[in-house]
A and B are shown apart, each in its own frame.
Chain A
Amino acid sequence: MPQDPTERRVTVTGPPRRTRRASGYYRPRTEIDEQTTLGHTYVRSLMRSQLRAGLTAFAVLGLLVGPLPLLFAAMPDARRLEWGVLGFGLYAPLVLLARWYVRRAERNERDLVRLVEDR
Chain B
Amino acid sequence: MNSSYAIPAVALVVVATVLVGAFGLRISRTTSDFYVASRTVGPRLNAAAISGEYLSAASFLGIAGLVLVQGPDMLWYPVGYTAGYLVLLLFVAAPLRRSGAYTLPDFAEARLASQGVRRLAGAFVVGVGWLYLLPQLQGAGLTLTVLSGAPDWLGGVIVAVVVTAIVAAGGMRSITFVQAFQYWLKLTALLVPALFLVLAWQGDGAPGRPFDEPATFREQRSVRVDDSLTLKLDRPLTVTVDGTVDGRTHDDARLSLPAGTHYIQSGTRLTFAKDTPVPAAGRGADDALSPSRAESRTERPLYATYGLILATFLGTMGLPHVVVRFYTSPHGVAARRTTVAVLGLIGAFYLLPPVYGALGRLYAPELTLTGDADAAVLLLPDRVIGGVGGDLLGALVAGGAFAAFLSTASGLTMAVAGVLTQDVLPSRAVPHFRLGTVLAMAVPLAASALVGGLPVADAVGLAFAVSASSFCPLLVLGIWWRRLTPPGAAAGMLVGGGSALLAVAATMGGFPGGGGALHALLAWPALWSVPLGFLTMVLVSLATPGRVPAGTAAILARFHLPEELRTEELRTEDPRTEDPHRDKPRRDEPRRDEPRVTEGPRKEAAP
Contacts and interface: CB of A to CB of B under 8 A. Distances in A.
B502 interface: no
Given A33-B567, A83-B354, A102-B340, A94 B601 contact: no
A95 B90 contact: no
Contacts of A79: 71-72, 211-213
Interface stretch (B133-141, B399-407, B428-436, B591-599): B591-599
Contacts of A39: 557
Contacts of B333: 106, 109
A31 B73 CA distance: 54
Interface in A64-78: 65, 69-70, 72-73
Nearest to B303: A69
A14 B574 contact: yes
Interface residues of B, number: 57
B91 A13 contact: no
B601 A15 contact: yes
Contact of B79 (A10, A80, A90): A90
A22 interface: no
**A contact face: mostly helix, strand, loop, or mixed:** helix
B309 interface: yes
A119 interface: no
A36 to B, nearest CB: 11
Interface in B72-91: 72-73, 75-76, 79, 82-83, 85-87, 89-91
Interface in B548-573: 553-554, 556-557, 560-562, 564-565, 567, 569-570, 572-573
B339 interface: yes
A16 B601 contact: yes
Given A87-B75, A102-B336, A13 B574 contact: yes
A116 B302 CA distance: 50
A86 to B, nearest CB: 4
Contacts of B305: 69
Contact of B562 (A70, A91, A112): A112
Nearest to B94: A105
Interface string B580-594: 000000000000000
Q: How large is the interface on A (under 10, 10 to 19, 20 to 34, 35 or more residues)?
A: 35 or more
A15 B598 contact: no
A83 B358 CA distance: 9
B595 A14 contact: no
B116 interface: no
Given A69-B306, A94-B86, A14 B601 contact: yes
A88 B354 contact: yes
A106 B336 contact: yes
Nearest to B604: A13
Contacts of B15: none
Interface string B335-359: 0110110011001101100100010
Contacts of A69: 76, 302, 305-306, 309
A84 to B, nearest CB: 9
Given A13-B598, A83-B358, A43 B556 contact: yes
Nearest to B480: A51
A63 interface: no
Given A29-B567, A105-B336, A35 B553 contact: yes
A12 B600 CA distance: 10
Contacts of B350: 91
Interface in A1-41: 8-18, 29, 32-33, 35, 39-40
B79 A86 contact: yes
A33 B73 CA distance: 52
Contacts of A50: 560
Closest 5 CB pairs of A and B: A14-B573, A91-B347, A87-B354, A86-B75, A15-B601
Given A29-B567, A79-B211, A91-B348, 7 more contacts: A14-B601, A15-B573, A15-B602, A57-B86, A86-B354, A97-B86, A99-B340
